[in-house]
Chain A
Amino acid sequence: MLKDREMEQKLRNEARTLLEQGKVDWIIGFEAGSLKFSTTPLITKDKNDTERLVINPFIVNNLADFLTGIKGRVGIVVKGCDSRSVVSLIQDNKVVREDVVILGVPCTGLIDLGKVEKLTGKYRDELDDITRQGNKVTIRVNGQKKEFPATDVLFDHCLACELPTPKEYDLLLGEPSPPIANPLAQEKIEKLKQMTPEQRWGVWEKELSRCIRCYACRNVCPACFCQRCFVEETEPQWVFPAPRWQDNLMFQIIRNIHVAGRCTDCGECERACPVNIPLRSLTREMYDIVDELFQFKAGMDKDAPPLLTHYEEEEAEGIFR
């Protein structure tokens, strides 16, 4: 946690300086939220607000989501996964590299409060505090300390993370951290892959029956930046507007295809879902399929062309006959 405090101070100074010197119009980072352990995006033009910037194991949001909706130059705080989203937006020509100052946070994984609640059997506001020391996480409840391996409480997508430290940045706020790449992350997806198609269909019927079509999964995603989403079209009506599970599934399938090659597995869609639908089981599998078919991972190289909207003449070999 000490590293977090040092990074925080460095970040606050840099953010203030960037605004003071007029190098950016906005700073987008994290500040303390209004609930225990929560953080919330800080989007500001005021240099005095930079005092509130924080770095801790709960900075969950993918702030690249705000880049396509903001005008002006932005100093943005990103972890590894988010930085890849920024690069992906640059590849898509939605963001100009010179318009962003990337403030990179080397990430050691974020703590999933859902997992904490399940492990402790307590609601998050009933916990005293949660601290991380390397491979261990200590949770204090009613004065009693309990220790857990960090892999028990980190998000699945953090366990799967291949790039916790941003590759593309203007300032790296701390020492790079190594990938975790823990096989536990793929457990859910592996289980699904073992099932028959009928069984998998049954799983998704059960999970997507809870969907309320809030579109939080779509709106937290930086890759979803369309002004008018296909799901809002009425002529033709691609997907029925009411939350019938088959239509909810159609929405997910089409959305996944639309973000294929641009999704960085930041896990925000699954975290944002208010009814705990395991959306990452769809998005990560698409991510793996893209890697398998095209040897491409989103947001790794800002000069690389975007995968599915670009093709070289040689690629046509054998496709057109």
Chain B
Amino acid sequence: MTATDTKHQRFFAQNNVYLPHIAVIEKIIEETPGVRTFHFNFKDKKLQKEFSFESGQFGEYSVFGIGEAPFCISSSPTRRDHIEFTAQRVGRVTNALHRLGVGAEIGFRGPYGNSFPLDFLKGKNLVFVGGGIGLAPLRSLIWNVIDNRKKYKNIDIVYGARTPADLCFKYDLDAWGKDKSIKFVTTVDRGDESWKGKVGVVPKILEEIAPSAKNAVAIVCGPPIMIRFTFPVLTKLGFTPEQMLTTLEKRMKCGIGKCGRCNIGNIYVCRDGPVFSYAQIKNFVSSEY
């Protein structure tokens, strides 16, 4: 294993890796009835300036007195006037988060985990495949790539949700739809009266669009069932396992590889992930992913 990661040491509060920094919520966007995006900044202005992270990394967010939960950082490191994360209301901590208003103080620990390998993606055609709230980690990378457009070749984005109401980051979807340097397709499993776009599950639409695998990397994020059906489609299109990236989700607590919870075999999703290639996943000693 690697030695102590000094890159992140300077972000530890009081040299104690479990102490969160205080952050203040500046804006709350209701993406869908159960999903909210929170914009925040650190109370400590010095930290606010110095703090940096990479696309794909996550943080541990505290609602003091209720608990702590991990969410990916959904904003891009190229856009640093504030930091964003997106959370779906499913349990104790997320329910408490959704009860918070602008100005509320939360805790933040991080950034943790590995990140999307930008060097590997440089000069390649990128195919982003997202489903539902799975767009959150992808979004950080997409804006990162768009802000450094010349470094990458073609960009294809296929994004879908169960219904039009479940589409997240609608403001981004508008922007990407208007961006002529991106091929952008949205789809829903079930449309409604006003829906004019494609209808069909994401893997099926991806198969229809059939992006070329030549010099390409696919980055897939979404509900586990979507990922499990997307990998075979990509394989059919000629993508090798090394050309497919994803982020894995496992129940996490400490976020730093100590509490044991998020392991898949001998790897910890919080420490060795959450970004993995399909090639790495196939080599896990545990088939539990």
Contact = CB atoms under 8 A, between A and B. Distances in A.
A235 interface: yes
A34 interface: no
A196 interface: no
A32 to B, nearest CB: 34
Interface string A194-235: 000000000000000000000000000000000000000011
Contacts of B91: 234-235
Contacts of A237: 92
Question: Could you tell me the dominant secondary structure of chain B's interface residues?
Answer: helix
Interface string B84-111: 0000000110010000000000000000
Judged by DSSP, the binding face of A is loop
Query: Chain B: interface residue count, which band?
Result: under 10
A242 to B, nearest CB: 12
Contacts of A235: 91-92, 95
B89 to A, nearest CB: 10
A237 B91 CA distance: 11
Interface string A221-261: 00000000000001101000000000000000000000000
A235 B91 CA distance: 7
Contacts of B95: 235
Nearest to B93: A234
A228 to B, nearest CB: 13
Nearest to B94: A235
A126 to B, nearest CB: 36
A237 B66 CA distance: 10
A235 B92 CA distance: 5
Interface in B149-195: none
A317 to B, nearest CB: 43
A137 to B, nearest CB: 45
Interface in A32-65: none
Nearest to A234: B92
A237 B92 CA distance: 8
A234 B92 CA distance: 6
Nearest to B96: A235
A135 B91 CA distance: 57
6 contacts: A234-B91, A234-B92, A235-B91, A235-B92, A235-B95, A237-B92
Interface of A: 234-235, 237
